């Protein structure tokens, strides 16, 4: 069964770049897989950040697109998120997830990591 | 962009109660809707996909229904383990969107 684990700095300074990695275990990442990032600011609801599909295609939340990069490293069985120029509004629990998909489209998030709280503060 | 609106935002119920949560989409999403359960400090857990398909391992007291723009999640007999926050999510088109969440509390 696939397991996902987020890792990265828990504290980031304003204007700097937030970088997180999602390590995938119990499963070998394939070229036709779909992966995503979701966040939940404390006390608020879930927000879709973006995803990477079939190794190279990406979709980003328009509200974050100018600051966001999501990439996949099949050799390390992991995928990553980079969010630049962060502010306090980016403080949130960040989750990585495996998105169900096939040749016809992308669907629900079937498996999730435990999440990691990233705080933006000086 | 599609907006997802859940109601109520908070629900107080007792063990054994039948509970219904509603999710409305701002446009037709052709049934491409999922429901998740999240408990404090835990990752969201998939309950229902394609509006009414029960994820493997999820108790049968959970069910989903709806079409067009209106969908419901029903818990037929609320159990102590079900007190949590529930989210709907559309995956009809990008950007993907979640509802604001419904917290099910003990009455």
Q: What is the structure's pLDDT at A31?
A: 79
Chain A CB contacts of B1 below 8 Å = 62
Chain B CB contacts of A61 below 8 Å = 95
Considering only alpha carbons, which residue of chain A is nearest residue B86?
Answer: A45
- Residue B105: C-alpha distances to residues A99, A108, B30, B71, B77 (Å): 29, 26, 31, 21, 14
Summary count for chain A: helices (H), strands (E) = 0, 11
Residue numbers of chain A with a pLDDT score lower than 50: none
Mean pLDDT of all residues in B102-106: 96
Phi, psi dihedrals of residue A75, rounded to the nearest 5°: -65, -30
Q: What is the structure's pLDDT at B22?
A: 98
- Residue B16: C-alpha distances to residues B9, B76, B80 (Å): 20, 8, 9
| pLDDT for B62 beyond 80 | yes
- Tell me the nearest-neighbour CA distance from A111 into chain B, angstroms: 7
Considering only alpha carbons, which residue of chain A is nearest residue B32?
Answer: A107
B27-60 tens-digit pLDDT: 999 999 999 999 999 999 999 999 999 999 999 9
Residues with Cβ within 8 Å of residue A52, at least 6 apart in sequence: A34, A35, A36, A58, A70, A71, A72, A79
Q: What is the structure's pLDDT at A55?
A: 72
The β-bridge relationship of strands A92-102 and A78-83 is unpaired
Show the tokens assigned to A110.
């079937």
Q: Does B86 touch chain A (CB under 8 A)?
A: no
- Tell me the nearest-neighbour CA distance from B43 into chain A, angstroms: 5
A45 → closest Cβ in B1, B34, B101:
B101
Rounded distance between C-alpha atoms, residue B53 and residue B63, angstroms: 8
| pLDDT, averaged across chain B | 97
Q: Does A5 touch chain B (CB under 8 A)?
A: no
Q: What is the structure's pLDDT at A32?
A: 84
Q: Does B95 touch chain A (CB under 8 A)?
A: yes
Rounded distance between C-alpha atoms, residue B6 and residue B25, angstroms: 9
Q: What is the structure's pLDDT at A56?
A: 79
Q: What is the structure's pLDDT at A1?
A: 86
């Amino acid at each position: 069964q696939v397991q996902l684990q987020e890792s990265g700095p828990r504290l980031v300074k304003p204007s700097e770049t937030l970088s997180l990695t999602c390590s995938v275990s119990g499963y070998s990442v394939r070229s036709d897989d779909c992966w995503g990032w979701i966040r939940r600011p404390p006390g608020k609801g879930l927000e879709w950040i973006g995803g990477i599909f079939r190794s190279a295609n990406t979709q980003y939340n328009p509200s974050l697109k100018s600051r966001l990069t999501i990439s996949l490293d099949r050799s390390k069985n992991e995928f990553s998120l980079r969010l630049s120029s962060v502010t306090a509004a980016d403080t949130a629990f960040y989750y990585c997830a495996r998105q169900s998909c096939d040749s016809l489209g992308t669907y629900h998030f079937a498996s999730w990591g435990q999440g990691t709280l990233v705080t933006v503060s000086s | 962009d599609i907006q997802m609106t859940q109601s109520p935002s908070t629900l107080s119920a007792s063990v054994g109660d039948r509970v219904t949560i509603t999710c409305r989409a701002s446009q037709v999403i052709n049934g491409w809707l999922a429901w998740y359960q999240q408990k404090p400090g835990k990752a969201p857990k998939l309950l229902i996909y394609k509006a009414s398909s029960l994820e493997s391992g999820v108790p049968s007291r959970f069910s989903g229904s709806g079409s067009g723009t209106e969908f419901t999640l029903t818990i037929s007999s609320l159990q102590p383990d079900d007190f949590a926050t529930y989210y709907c999510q559309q995956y009809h088109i990008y950007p993907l969107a979640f509802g604001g969440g419904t917290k099910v509390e003990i009455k």
